[in-house]
Amino acid sequence: MTEINEASVRAEVRAWLETNWNPALGLVEWRNKLCDSGWGAPHWPKEWYGRDLPVGLVPVVDEEFARIGAVGVAKAGIRTLAAATILAHGSTLHKEKFLRRILTGEDTWCQLFSEPGSGSDLAGAVTRADLKGNKWVINGQKVWNTSAHKAHWGLLLARSDWDARKHKGLTYFIIDMKQPGVQVHPLKQMNGHASFNQVFFTDAIVEPEFMIENTGDGWTVATTTLMHERRGADGMRSLASGGGRQGRIYEEEKAEIATTMEPYKWYPQRAGRVDLVMGRARETGAIDDPVVRQEIAKLLIMSKSAEWTARRARTAQEQGRPQGPEGSLGKLIASHVARAAARVHTSITGAASLLSGEDGPLNGTIAEILISVPACSIAGGTDEIQRNIISERVLKMPKEPSVDAEKPFRDVPRNITSAAS
Amino acid sequence: MKFSFTSEQEEFRSILRRFLEGKSPTKEVRRLMETDGGWDRDAWKKINQEIGLTAVAIPEAYGGQGFGCSELCIVLEEAGRTVLCAPLFASTFAAYTILDAGDEAQKKALLPGIASGETVATVAFTEESGNWDPESVRMTATAAGGGYKLDGVKSFVIDGHTADLIVVLARTAQGLSLFTVRGDAAGLQRKLLKTIDTTRKLAKLTFTAVDATPLGPVGGAAAPFARTLTRAAVCLANEMVGVAEKLRESALDYAKMRMQFGRPIASFQSMKHKQADMLVDVEMAKSAAYYAAAAVDDGDSDLPAIASLAKASASDAVLQTAIHTIQIHGGIGFTWDNDSHLWFKRAKSSEVMLGDAAYHRELMMRRWAA
């Protein structure tokens, strides 16, 4: 067997693309070819649409796709988390049924973890899964479910054993979202957008073969999903569509990305829009106010240092050295930057900060910053949880004494919700 | 621009750390800070013979090791960690001034002594106004018999009472000019100032018709000295992040060890969150300081703004970290016997030295808002 290296991979993928790439094909038709060849997800196992390629060589394949302008497999959205979870924990049946349609983009997915009563404390989920006859019956409520209104399938964490300890009574399911027992309602946020949903389960059914791993393994499986969610958080934001390329397949891909990314359209405002600060300060004359100048400077220092801290972490990683503490701070730093940016935009904008929509500066963008920034320090792990993670994992400080992890979940004090046992 | 350290640089850092921890335990810091001189001439010579500190960024042609600002900043950061009592920053500042302003013969004559540690040098530019802007300089230099005579008062001069060679910024009819003066020159009165931070001494220098030799062209100092100040700010910022990191680590070690209410105080969320915030402050300031050092080596045209950014960031971070560190230590942290105050005081003096955070934020904005 010949050695696999950058040159051999490049030559092989290039030859394959030159023979097979055809922008006249339909998106799904082309992606099925990618599944059959293994070039769509080359780091996946050979028996599941991949080529067992080392992860380090995947960028070579991406470069060749970009060079010829070839479209890749569906990568946006929760489907990537579903794929990673199924690859790690799923049965052969799961892999056969779901993986190909994830890659082709035919199925969309949602994640059903958070609940009204368990946000930071995800393992405190109280959505019930009861085995009745030969089927799992699901009752309860989930929240913050991106794209659940469009999803065919959901990754569900539910409580199947109330007498087991908190982390041991959870089970992980794949649930069919298109059934009468599943109702999806949009959740309107304080900034007026509705990027997420609430999902209500009333005697919803899960076939027994759609359980992942065994009863009681839910938390372990969820940890895999969450790990991939954190890793992917940055990648998703940079997801670009096919640029200005023409052709049916590009149009189809563009539409897919637009649909997937629609819930995220206010995310730049959520991050504070530091990029707008200097322009706004010049335009309003606030740049000449010594107090505002100081605040702008503080913000720019924070934002530049954040960028350099991320670059420092990335460079260390690229050089194959262990990441220092700088690698774990990005999320917390980003919310500091966002909050500071909102303050500075307010100082710069003055009374006009009160105005929104077409009456507000930049057609409402400044207003949208001011009412979106609070999300930054909550979504994806609150600042408080980030500080716990940093202090425990990076600084090796002891955990607080636990009051809930060692007793039967039935006896743990918790929020009152309709699904509670 | 790449600004992550190479494995050679990391190795250099770990050698230095071991070396300086050996040379500058707090017992030695406490001994030296009680002396008027503030540092030990024999020990300083020996350090430079063994490992070479001021020599690092001086070109080989002038007796140095010819490394860049990034390597020098590793030295300064490690020196900051141990609050090394030595004329390292003063000599570094002077060496950069000579490199930026001096002619070839002056560099050849002055730098090898500084590189070897034989000559301790400093820069006298600030006056009693405490203004860090070179344009504020009032001291006059008058041409007299082929040379120049200096009259006036300099203050906040680091190691000014012990330096062998003093680089002085003064005003002539042609504009700002730099001069060199011997430490024992006639007419020069040197007074050790009482300071908060006794680990780095400051002096007031009164010049009465002191003979001085021009460094570089008379009247031409403004531009080269502005470059020097930029690099000095980068160097100080790197020293400061060493101080900050050491403070943070000592607070963390103490919190893990200190028992109250039957558990280590490190297990309380209030402590954990404070420590996480301290880590963010210190790592952000480190990134800025490292980036600025790399910008010096890359000849980045935006360096003046980046240098001020790094100094402002370090000023805020080091002081905040010092305040948290004393707080985390509680009562013991406010005692003389506990070592925290050594770093606290260095943090405080460095915060202000060469301009505080607000001053550097304004300098940065003048560049970026223009």
The DSSP result for B136-183, as a single string, is: G---EEEEETTEEEEEEEEEEEETTTT-SEEEEEEEETTEEEEEEEET
Residues B176 and B261 in one domain: no
Q: Do A395 and B313 touch (CB under 8 A)?
A: no
Q: How deeply is A421 buried, as exposed, middle or buried, from its count of CB atoms within 10 A (0-12, 13-18, 19+)? A: exposed
Residues B228 and B320 in one domain: yes
CATH, residue B208: 2.40.110.10
In one-letter notation, the amino acid at residue B358 is A
Indicate the residue of B266, B275, B283 with minimum beta-carbon distance to A309: B283
| Radius of gyration for the alpha carbons in chain B, expressed in angstroms and rounded | 20
Confirm whether B1 is domain-assigned. Answer: no
Closest residue on chain B to A282 (Cα):
B369
CA B315/CA B125 separation, integer angstroms: 21
Q: Check if CATH label 1.20.1250 holds for domain A266-380.
A: no
The three-class DSSP label of residue A408 is: strand
CA A162/CA A126 separation, integer angstroms: 9
H or E stretch at B80 = helix B69-81
CA distance B187 to chain A (A): 43
CATH, residue B354: 1.20.140.10
Residues B231 and B358 in one domain: yes
CA distance A125 to chain B (A): 23
Looking at this predicted complex, what is its ipTM?
0.95
Please give the model's pTM, rounded to 2 decimal places: 0.91
pLDDT digits (tens, 9 = 90+) for B64-98: 999 999 999 999 999 999 999 999 999 999 999 99
CA A209/CA A345 separation, integer angstroms: 53
Residues B114 and B24 in one domain: yes
Domain that holds residue B100: 7-119
Q: Please give the class, per CATH, of domain A79-96+106-236.
A: mainly beta
Confirm whether B318 is domain-assigned. Answer: yes
Tens-digit pLDDT profile for chain A (421 aa)? 567 889 999 999 999 999 999 999 999 999 999 999 999 999 999 999 999 999 889 999 999 999 999 999 998 889 999 999 999 999 999 999 999 999 999 999 999 999 999 988 999 999 999 999 999 999 999 999 999 999 999 999 999 999 999 999 999 999 999 999 999 999 999 999 999 999 999 999 999 999 999 999 999 999 999 888 876 654 444 444 445 677 889 999 988 888 888 888 999 999 999 999 999 999 999 999 999 999 999 999 999 999 999 998 888 777 777 667 776 799 999 999 999 999 999 999 999 999 999 999 999 999 999 999 999 999 888 999 999 999 999 999 999 888 898 899 999 998 876 544 4
Tell which B residues from 282 to 321 touch A, by Cβ distance under 8 Å: 283-288, 290-291, 309, 312-313
Q: Do A305 and B277 touch (CB under 8 A)?
A: no
C-beta of residue B110 within 8 angstroms of C-beta of residue B123:
no
Q: How deeply is A69 buried, as exposed, middle or buried, from its count of CB atoms within 10 A (0-12, 13-18, 19+)? A: middle
Q: Which of B69, B98, B119 is the last residue of a domain?
A: B119
The per-residue pLDDT for A241 is: 46
Comparing CA positions, the residue from B42, B32, B26, B162 lying closest to residue B94 is B162
- What ranges do the domains of chain A cover? 6-73, 79-96+106-236, 266-380
Contacts of A388 in chain B (CB under 8 A): 269, 272-273, 276
Q: Residues for chain B: how many in total?
A: 370
Q: Do A300 and B364 touch (CB under 8 A)?
A: yes
Rounded to whole angstroms, what are the CA distances from B86 to A142, B20, B23, B135? 63, 11, 11, 29
Indicate the residue of B2, B283, B309 with minimum beta-carbon distance to A329: B283
The per-residue pLDDT for A243 is: 54
Q: Do domains A79-96+106-236 and A266-380 have the same CATH topology?
A: no
- In degrees rounded to 5, what are phi and psi of residue A198? -110, 140
Domain count, chain B: 3
